[in-house]
Chain A
Amino acid sequence: MAGQATAFTATAQQSPGLPGLAALGFNRAQSIAFLLLLGLLLVGPFVLYPVFLMKLLCFALFACAFNLLIGYVGLLSFGHAMFFGMGGYVTAHAAKVWGLTPELAILAGGAVGAVLGVVAGWIAIRRQGIYFAMITLALAQMIFFVCLQAPFTGGEDGIQSVPRGALLGVFSLAQDMSLYWVVAAVFLAGFLLINRIIHSPFGQVLTAIRENEPRAISLGYRVDDYKLMAFTLSATLAGIAGGTKALVFGIATLTDVYWAMSGEVVLMTLVGGLGTVFGPVLGAAVIVSMQNYLAEFGAWVTVIQGCIFVACVLAFRAGIAGQLGRWLRVRL
């Protein structure tokens, strides 16, 4: 995939990580960045509006899930909105109609992401490059149509006034602050899981496939099975992110299954830094902040986003984290 190689810094030598964090697969720079992230997660809600932060974290998880595919397998999916949006609908439905507790409702969103991921992945991984992207886009459009027509999604209205419920049926999440900690925990768990996937025996094979697929085949790896597994994991996490977002806003709508959402997650990942651990989080932060704080400019937000995207691609193709990593000579 064009330009993807630029995101990986040439230095293969890993500096040893901080004790404890090295076990998570972080190098020294990543350990520091991770501690910084933890600090921000803890302090954030006391400084910034919690709902804004929760939105940011949902998108950050979504972008991280997407990055698992593009950054570590080299697969550009242009239909990830189907997992995100469908996850949102199912979580909303589970919480509102079935009366499930929030953690189960979110898991239901992840489950539907997984099922959709297996099916969509099974069809899409037979093709490569632009064809892969087009198949995922086509499948996502089909899901969009289903969401528009199916009775349970509420069509144009979406599913509204979804109850936040009580965690494990005990702790009420009605307060933004209580929900924030749940969302932060979901994000952190997803983020660490992705990091583990990257630094697992499975992740090692994924990297080999990204780097040289014919060679991986010639070593006896059934690459399609690995791609499908990665695709499914990514879709599951995207479903969880979408489900969490539906709980935060108490609403699941067509916006989240629309193709523009698939484009947005590509944008976040590219701006942040493809194939970097922290890039997608930064990218999501930039894009979500822009949408929130520039909202008064109305339609101009898209224009500004477009300019930033062009600037990114022209000036620092490795994204924010990738470029930062280059300057500091570390891998982020």
Chain B
Amino acid sequence: MDAILETQGLSKQFLGFTAVGDVSLSVRRGSIHGLIGPNGAGKTTCFNLLTKFLPPTSGTIRFNGRDITRMKPAEVARLGLVRSFQISAVFPHLTVLENVRVALQRQRGGSFDFWRSDSVLRRFDARARDLLEDVGLTAFAQRAAGELPYGRKRALEIATTLALEPTMMLLDEPTAGMTAEDVDRIVTLVKRVAEGRTVLMVEHNLKVVEGLCDTITVLTRGRILAEGPYAEVSRNPEVIAAYLGTDPSITGAAAHG
């Protein structure tokens, strides 16, 4: 299997509490991989470890064959492994267009030229508009990002992430807190932008997972419980048991907390 992201024995302890223990995860290039599990299973911790926002206690992480275990988050982003956040991460007082442009601006390398007018950034406007069109935000281009409704903010976040042309996207609960109609829009969007990339997503909404993911990994108490295609994993008795405590309707469509 051609794995783009691989972890070996990844662990994170907080004051002796093992939030993530011995996780060996392997994400196939070009796939959409789902990371699910009941509350407190360590999904978000795992996510923060992969994007280097948390240092692991032990274990290694390899991305595209490179050991990224000791890298800083900004360096990992530069390698093409770009994350989103659970709470919508936009720059609220910048316009929607500027939000995307800040990401495109990374193509210049460092932007330490404080003596130059920001009109040099206008060359990114066209590309930014393309990206906004992709996610259906053209009409909002000149609005402050903070004014957008929640679902649109998530769309903007995805456009901003795409601006970096990432090889792999890590999406932290892309549909959390959304209305049903927003969920559909995001699902379509993720499916479309995943073309030619790899996506790893933490997701609570099992319907979304079922519809999107090629492979899913189930975490409970910081450890991997099961891995495989949705159809297979959802029949796994251990997985059903793990979910029963919080939500019996794993085979149903409802999101759970």
User: Footprint of B on A, CB under 8 Å?
Assistant: 5, 8, 10-13, 23, 25, 196-197, 199-205, 207-208, 211-212, 214-223, 225-226, 229, 233
Contacts and interface: CB of A to CB of B under 8 A. Distances in A.
Interface in B77-131: 77-78, 82-85, 89-95, 98, 101-103, 105-106, 108, 110-118, 120-121
A212 B106 contact: no
Contacts of A23: 117
B29 interface: no
Contact of A203 (B53, B72, B82, B114): B114
B140 to A, nearest CB: 10
B218 interface: no
B143 interface: yes
Contacts of B117: 23, 25, 196, 199-200
B106 A221 contact: yes
A10 B148 CA distance: 12
A219 B111 contact: no
A223 B85 CA distance: 18
Contact of A219 (B75, B120, B147, B160): B160
Contact of B121 (A201, A211, A221): A201
A50 B160 CA distance: 51
B74 interface: yes
A12 B108 CA distance: 25
A212 B89 contact: yes
A201 B111 contact: yes
14 contacts: A10-B93, A13-B143, A200-B118, A201-B113, A202-B113, A204-B121, A207-B91, A212-B90, A212-B92, A217-B73, A218-B51, A218-B77, A219-B106, A220-B106
B144 interface: yes
A206 to B, nearest CB: 9
B211 to A, nearest CB: 26
A195 to B, nearest CB: 11
Nearest to A22: B119
Contact of A196 (B90, B115, B164): B115
Between A25, A200, A203, A214, the greatest number of chain B beta carbons within 10 A of the residue's beta carbon is seen for A200
A212 B157 CA distance: 12
Interface SS majority for chain A: helix
B146 interface: yes
A223 B105 contact: no
Given A200-B118, A233-B114, A8 B83 contact: no
B111 A214 contact: no
B13 interface: no
A220 B89 CA distance: 14
Given A23-B117, A218-B83, A219-B164, A211 B92 contact: yes
A13 B114 CA distance: 23
B8 interface: no
Contact of A222 (B74, B84, B120): B74
Interface in B56-82: 72-75, 77-78, 82
Contacts of A222: 72, 74, 110
B77 A201 contact: no
B142 interface: yes
Given A12-B94, A217-B73, A218-B89, A202 B114 contact: yes
Given A12-B142, A218-B85, A220-B75, 7 more contacts: A10-B146, A13-B142, A197-B114, A197-B115, A200-B114, A200-B117, A204-B98
Nearest to A201: B111
A331 to B, nearest CB: 10
Between A8, A25, A219, A220, the greatest number of chain B beta carbons within 10 A of the residue's beta carbon is seen for A219
A69 B74 CA distance: 22
A200 B115 CA distance: 7
A317 to B, nearest CB: 16
Contacts of A25: 117-118
A202 B85 contact: no
Nearest to B78: A220
B87 to A, nearest CB: 10
A23 B116 CA distance: 11
